[in-house]
Amino acid sequence: MGSRKGPDELLGDLFIDVQHQQIYPDGKTFVDLVPKKRAKSIQEEYTLLRKDPNFDLRDFIGRHFYDLSTTVHKKDPFVIQEGESIESHIDRLWSHLERRNRVNRGSLIALPHPYIVPGGRFNEQFYWDSYFIMLGLAAEGKWQKVEGMVKNFAHMIRKYGYIPTGNRTYFLSRSQPPFFALMVKLLAVHKGKKVYRDYLPHLLQEYRFWMKGVSRVQETEHFAYRRVAQMPDGTMLNRYYDNKVTPRPESLREDRETAQSAKTRLPDRLFLHLRAAAESGWDFSARWLTDPQDLRTIHTADIIPIDLNCLLYTLEETIAEAYNGWLHPVLRGRYRRRAQRRHAGIQEYLWNEKEGWFMDYNFHHHWQTGFISLAGVFPLYAGIATDEQAAKVAERLEADFLMKGGLVTTLIETGQQWDSPNGWAPLQWVAIEGLRRYGYDELAGKIIDRWMATVEMVYDDSHRLVEKYNVTGGDGLGGGGEYVLQDGFGWTNGVYSALKKSFRP
């Protein structure tokens, strides 16, 4: 299966049957298994044997597929050491979460350098997770690992023209929040400005991916093509999208069930919006829903997200900075002007003066979604907010989002994992850095104290570092979403280590 096709495309009926019969409770388990021979041969054998009344599908899978985590990537069990400090625990976890994969295996795509995976069900190099993992590695002086992961992403940009969600064939139709420019900036802290020149071709290629379709927006009903949408004043802003309109292979059963119960919606449109939410990293949140309590009302691809456009502003500014290093004033000026236009578009369409908050914009209806989420801190992180806007955001952040255990993701509880009561490490970091950029060090310090205390409380209780936390109280363990709470956990380890090194040494 050294192919660009995912398991759903290669295995046909076998794939559908395994996922629908829930041979594995988590649909991601099967898409990550590696076939022992050509997929076509397995499929042909399945077609022949499944007619037998004594046929056992579980046994068939066991004979024809193997699990990388118990073979090639097998690790010794991670042993909990009583009394071990959280810092030492994280340091040991890095080697436990490291993978080397220079050969395509099943859905897993080869990468030239070792990488850190998030952990739990996530055994690949995820795009936006990796930036927050790198922060922790950098804080601990593990710059070789940071550079190796940056090189892996540059390799994927060269190979595919963009960075997929992760190095899996079934992720090749979508990306994730574009943090590559921030990875380059992080590496430049260690290696100097030469890094900008080295990675300029990759930054440009990623930018082309996100802006592909600018020349075609006029041909469409809502002036949007792929990941680009034209605003009423002509400004080009971006949305999350996916190049496919089928159920996600790793969540086939769940997506089909959602579509079957949504009788008034076309399945392909629903699948697009589900996939676009997966590209956003916020899968799922009431942020993307018309009815906050009903996933069937998802419409992610109709929305101009505040966080995405702030990250693309940073990408444009980083390209301009890289051209400055090459002494190309014309090209530097071109990308600075693009950044300025995006800056103006964010101010025009995504700031809500009445609410004192930045929010997403529905370009189909030409109005803001009205949904208040922690994504509203990204303009502070990117330096787009005015001082007056930053003051209002800081005030609201402290009044509405700051809980006992850190910042809550949204102000509504839905059962989706990117809503209340969950808090996530990457968003704590973005908020803290954004506040510090505008001089709100005291509030940033409160968030640091509360978030670190939550991580430490859960660690002291269970010796676990988890994917998300309940910041409103209780045992601190996060919940909701399509799968059980995952341990590891890459970005929690990274953000905790970076905060500890910078603010609580």
Helix H or strand E encompassing 228 = strand 228-230
CA distance 300 to 308: 12
Helix H or strand E encompassing 305 = none
Give buried/exposed letters for 93-128 (b at 16+ CB in 10 A, else e): bbeebebebeeebbbbbebebbbbbbbbbbbbbbbb
CA distance 242 to 246: 10
Task: Give the 3-state secondary structure of residue 373.
Answer: strand
**64 HSE (CA, 13 A, CB side):** 21
The Cα-based distances of 115 to 102, 141, 157, 164 in angstroms read: 11, 16, 16, 15
Active site (annotated) includes residue 283: yes
Within its chain, how far is the Cα of 39 from the centroid? Answer: 30
Bridge partners for 303 per DSSP:
362
Active site (annotated) includes residue 467: yes
Return the C-alpha torsion angle 390, 283, 317, 347, nearest 10: -40
Task: Give the 3-state secondary structure of residue 82.
Answer: coil
Catalytic residue among 283, 302, 317, 419: 283
Sign of CA dihedral 404, 405, 411, 412: negative
The Cα-based distances of 339 to 215, 320, 383 in angstroms read: 18, 9, 12
Tokens of 46: 């399945």
Q: Are strands 34-35 and 65-66 parallel, antiparallel or unpaired?
A: antiparallel
For residues 226 and 241, the answer to whether their CB atoms sit within 8 Å is yes
Give me the active site residues, please: 283, 467
